[in-house]
Amino acid sequence: MGTKEVIITVESIKPKFFEKLIQNILKLTAGTTILVLFLIFFFLLKEGYGIFSYVSLRDFILGTQWLPETTPPKFGALPLIKGSLYVTVGATLIAVPIGISVAVFLAEAAPPMLREVLKAVIELLAGIPSVVYGFLGLTILAPFIKELFNLSSALCAFTASIVLALMSLPTIVSISEDVLTTVPKEYREASLALGATKWETTLKIVIPAARTGLIAAAMLGIGRAIGETMAVLMVAGNAVMLPHSFFDPVRTITANIAAEMGETVHGGLHYQALFGLGIVLFVITFIINFLTNILAADKLGMKRGRYL
Amino acid sequence: MGIKMETKNLSIYYKNYKALNSVSLPIKENAVTALIGPSGCGKTTFLRSLNRMIEVIEGARIEGNVLLDGKNIYDPEVDPVELRKKVGMVFQKPNPFPMSIFDNVAYGPRIHGVKKKPLLEEIVEKSLKAAALWDEVKDRLYESALGLSGGQQQRLVIARVLAVEPQVILMDEPASALDPISTAKLEDLIEQLKEKYTIVIVTHNMQQAARISDYTAFFLNGELVEYDETRIIFTTPKEKRTEDYITGRFG
């Protein structure tokens, strides 16, 4: 009862109109974001669902032939889905360990001057347009990989993975570094005072404490990789066939949509098929986000987030 | 009573600022030594110099000697990691790691090579009992340490230090973030601990220093003004500045 009275008093002192206004503006902006997201999804569904009356969902996802120009056309998206997965998984396997290692070095080991310089340079890398990465991959990386592995053509999932990894590194490094430096210094001091070395402290205290944030950093990096279109279009080899190894040429979902959209008739079967691909991509991203949340959730139910 | 630690002409600089000016102070074994003085007088700096945690602070520089059992701990041959096993530290704010209660206490033994679960369990139980926390947490050892109250967290941190089996325990205003009841429990605990350990405690609370310590050192502006048995400091101090401070005339 006592509390209730206090609340009423406090409320009546406040300039009510202003408080309400701010609250409503925030509600409006938050609401708009969610609304736009839903609209995008409904638009994708509306434009794309028609394809599923031509091929079943199962054949669309598991079909191995994507031949939009034949009669009758075939829309089996598995080569594209597999292409996207190969390139993304490859990029993740390269970028996440390297990115987090670099961030740990910057946050824990680098002298302050070097840290500031390196951070600025790495963040600058994030601003380079993807077409430039693609171009560099095409002219410098691909010939090198061709030599190294003695391939007939180096335009394959492996090369694309490296280019994508390079592109997502700045995001991963920069966010991971931020997360690591926000781990309270009390944790580090407590660990050092117990006789742990600096390295033990980093490995057993700082990184576990920053785990949630590090996963988020990795996911944002992967998000950039899976959505990337231009660079993979240039270096992945662009062949619509089922890849069997990382050294096969692939075409990703995004690259395929970009490459074929210009040829379609608005509302036609091919057009609908490409939107169908968009839905698949949307669902994949959704699943990745969902898995991230599960991974980031704490086993012990500790509110680590409070400290980060 | 023997002398466990001793500083000789110890000066400490942060970059060009002299935070501590030629302090020579004995720390008696199995006793509680309280460091008192107004904020910024160098008590915490002094405390941190006793287990070389001062070196963690960027730009800190040390002159003079700190002896532990007669050996200079700043000797290049001394490994700070080994030293900190012998001289443990409790900080101002309770700082349990974001892990379970068990893992918090087991952290020190684990990094020093204890792997066997039964042995770890034994150490954890012994340490928590010594820190007067066992009865309150024995049924929730595997729950997050962050769910404990502030007073419990501080006793957990002490248990974590005890698990490493130190000889000296440094405490930097351990009760400043605690309520009166938790503070009383902590003071009882310190009384018990001095039978086995040598304790150095920084405190802002003069009554606390008078209650729990055997020896008191009064610091002012980076200098040691007076050091003596606590009852003498609080009844018949030799220095006017000490008297002014403990009677509340400044600070």
User: Which residue in B56, B112, B157 is closest to A195 by CB distance?
Assistant: B112
In A152-211, the residues whose Cβ lies within 8 Å of chain B are 184, 186-197, 200, 204-205, 208-209
Q: Are A111 and A140 in contact (CB under 8 A)?
A: no
Q: Into how many domains does chain B fold? A: 1
| pLDDT above 70 for A10 | no
The answer to whether B108 contacts chain A (CB < 8 Å) is yes
Q: How far is CA A100 from the centre of its chain?
A: 15
pLDDT of residue A302: 45
Domain containing B77 equals 3-97+169-246
Q: Tell me how far apart the alpha carbons of residues A124 and A102 are, in angstroms, rounded to a whole number.
A: 16
Which of A62-71, A75-84, A184-193, B21-30 is the least confident region?
A62-71
Angstroms from B137 CA to nearest CA on chain A: 16
Q: Is residue B13 part of a domain?
A: yes
> If you count them, how many residues does chain B have?
251
Residues B162-217 have pLDDT tens digits of: 999 999 999 999 988 888 888 898 899 999 999 999 999 999 888 899 999 999 99
Tokens coding B49: 């110099």
The 3-state DSSP composition of chain B as helix, strand, coil percent (nearest 5) reads 40, 25, 35
pLDDT of residue A237: 85
Residues A115-139 have pLDDT tens digits of: 999 999 988 888 888 899 999 999 9
Q: In what order do the strands lie in the sheet with B168-172?
A: B87-90, B168-172, B198-202, B32-36, B215-220, B223-229
Question: In terms of Cα–Cα distance, which of A293, A277, A292, A217 is closest to A82?
Answer: A277
How would residue A174 be classed by pLDDT, with cut points 50, 70 and 90? very high
- Asked: is A67-307 a CATH 1.10.3720.10 domain? The reply is yes
Q: Tell me how far apart the alpha carbons of residues B68 and B85 are, in angstroms, rounded to a whole number.
A: 13
How would residue B28 be classed by pLDDT, with cut points 50, 70 and 90? very high
Angstroms from B156 CA to nearest CA on chain A: 12
Give the residue-averaged pLDDT of A237-255. 88
Residues B95-153 have pLDDT tens digits of: 999 999 999 999 999 999 999 999 999 999 999 999 889 999 999 999 999 999 988 99
Report chain B's mean pLDDT, rounded to a whole number.
Answer: 91
Residues A36-83 have pLDDT tens digits of: 999 999 999 999 988 888 988 899 989 888 988 888 889 999 999 999
Q: Are B5 and B68 in contact (CB under 8 A)?
A: yes
Q: How is chain A split into domains, by residue range?
A: 2-53, 67-307
Q: Are B51 and B84 in contact (CB under 8 A)?
A: yes
The answer to whether B51 contacts chain A (CB < 8 Å) is yes
Q: Give the residue, A52 or B248, on which the prediction is more confident.
A: A52
| pLDDT above 70 for A6 | no
A23: helix, strand or coil: helix
| pLDDT above 90 for B1 | no
Give the residue-averaged pLDDT of A237-249. 86
The answer to whether B143 contacts chain A (CB < 8 Å) is yes
Q: Are A276 and A180 in contact (CB under 8 A)?
A: no
How would residue A306 be classed by pLDDT, with cut points 50, 70 and 90? very low
CATH classification of the domain holding B175: 3.40.50.300
How would residue A298 be classed by pLDDT, with cut points 50, 70 and 90? low
Q: Is residue B134 part of a domain?
A: no
How, if at all, do strands B32-36 and B198-202 pair? parallel
* Residue with token string 């066992």: B134
Give the residue-averaged pLDDT of B15-39. 92
Tokens coding B126: 């012994």
Mutate to test the interface with B, among A115, A194, A299 (most CBs of B within 10 A): A194
